[in-house]
């Protein structure tokens, strides 16, 4: 899922490690979300958005991605 986490994080002068500590995950998890290798749970997405005082729709861009969603993968959608 595309997102604007890096843009928002850098605008606040936060490192990936600092953002991770604020939301209770590792720097590696923040990196994986920023690079679209991992989709956060709705609760983690909500916590990230609270840090930025923004809505989920402002941070996470719900558009078609080349990568299949987990639900598509579990259903075997090609």
Q: What is the pLDDT of residue 63?
A: 72
Q: What domain range is 13 assigned to?
A: 2-75
Residue 14 above 80 pLDDT?
A: yes
Q: CA-CA distance, 36 to 72, in Å (whole number)?
A: 16
Model confidence pLDDT, tens digit, residues 17-69: 999 999 999 999 999 999 999 999 999 999 999 999 999 999 999 876 566 55
Q: What is the pLDDT of residue 19?
A: 98
Which residue bears the tokens 């861009």? 61
Q: What is the pLDDT of residue 4?
A: 97
Q: What is the pLDDT of residue 70?
A: 63
Residue 1 above 90 pLDDT?
A: no
Residue 51 tokens, joined = 């840090």
Number of domains in the chain: 1
> At 3, phi and psi to the nearest 5?
-155, 170
Q: What is the pLDDT of residue 77?
A: 62
Contact 25, 44 (CB under 8 A): yes
């Amino acid at each position: 899922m595309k997102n604007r986490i890096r843009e928002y994080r850098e605008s606040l002068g936060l490192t990936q490690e600092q953002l991770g500590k604020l939301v209770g995950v590792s720097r590696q998890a923040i990196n994986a979300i920023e690079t679209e290798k991992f989709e956060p749970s709705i609760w983690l997405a909500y916590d990230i958005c609270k840090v930025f005082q923004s809505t989920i729709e402002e941070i996470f861009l719900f558009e078609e991605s080349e990568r299949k969603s987990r639900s598509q993968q579990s259903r075997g959608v090609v």
